[in-house]
Amino acid sequence: MNRRTLGRTGLAVSEIGFGGWAIGGNAFGNSYGSTDDAESQRAIRRAFELGCNFFDTADVYGHGHSEELLGAALHDVRDQVLIATKVGGNFYDGDVHMDFAPGYLRFAVQRSLERLRTDHIDLLQLHNPPMSLISELGTYEPLEAMKGEGLIRFYGVSVHPPEEGLAAVQTTLPDTVQIVYNLARREAEDTFLPSAQAANVGVIAREPLANGFLAGRYTAESTWERGDIRSRMPRPYVTQLATLGQRVRELAEKSGMTAAQLALKFVLDRQEIACAIVGMKTVQQVEENLN
């Protein structure tokens, strides 16, 4: 597994990172269907065996469950891996709501540390903060404080549109930006990627397989169980992504690759991107994506 430098953090991260959204399970919906915890842990360890050293999750994935699985699977190799998580989705009070208050961020980090079985987080990311907070320097004061205390090593933001990523770069404080980038979503190419590279901000590509559609296994008629985020997508959007996925599969077969491998190659052909985070919940998925 090749490694790249994650911007000014200096961290050498595997080009493919393990995305922990799916392994959080479907108990609270907003996920990717049912999971098997034993298989999830085998998938995590297999990723490590194949050279993946960057594991990305969020506290809200399975309301802490994803972090717990990563902590259990990686505790004996903690010094050999980099763990990134995200905070900002407060699920402790019942319904999930956004909360970036300094007191809550510190509370959330402490709970994440417990679940991850570690005394520090390598990369803490604010999870989908609004533009107003991204651009406000005061937003990062509690993160700077925790960095100074050694609770976190580096921090960044996880966003969707390139405008939010650009705002993060312009504040000069976040070390990294995690942003949507894939064959179906290329908006980041125009301004964000060059700006992040010029500022030496580490770039992590989220959703490189477009919620799994670019793996080429779905059609316009595909359906998903309740709680799977794809079950709530408008059918025209499903049709569009599924059609693209089928086309990627056709092209990949001509090159001796799987659709997922070709889609990941597209993302990693951008040298501004240090790591592509792929959601994986089975050993089979890990072996396809990391080989």
Active site residue 104: no
The pLDDT of residue 291 = 84
Let me know if residue 208 belongs to a domain.
yes
With 90 as the cut, is the pLDDT of residue 14 above it? yes
Count: domains in the chain: 1
What is the chain's mean pLDDT, rounded?
Answer: 97
The pLDDT of residue 11 = 98
Band (55; pLDDT cuts 50, 70, 90) = very high
Give the residue numbers spanning the domain of 167: 3-212+273-290
Per-residue model confidence as pLDDT tens digits over 236-282: 999 999 999 999 999 999 999 999 999 999 999 999 999 999 999 99
Let me know if residue 112 belongs to a domain.
yes
Percentage of residues of the chain with pLDDT beyond 70: 100
Catalytic hit among 32, 61, 181, 218: 61
With 90 as the cut, is the pLDDT of residue 155 above it? yes
Per-residue model confidence as pLDDT tens digits over 174-228: 999 999 999 999 999 999 999 999 999 999 999 999 999 999 999 999 999 999 9
User: What CATH number is attached to the domain comprising 90?
Assistant: 3.20.20.100
Give exposure, 132-151, as e/b (b: 16+ Cβ within 10 Å): ebbeeeebbebbeebbeeeb
Let me know if residue 280 belongs to a domain.
yes
The Cα-based distances of 74 to 3, 110, 176, 279 in angstroms read 19, 18, 23, 17
Per-residue pLDDT, averaged over 39-54, amounts to 98
Let me know if residue 217 belongs to a domain.
no
Let me know if residue 248 belongs to a domain.
no
The pLDDT of residue 228 = 94
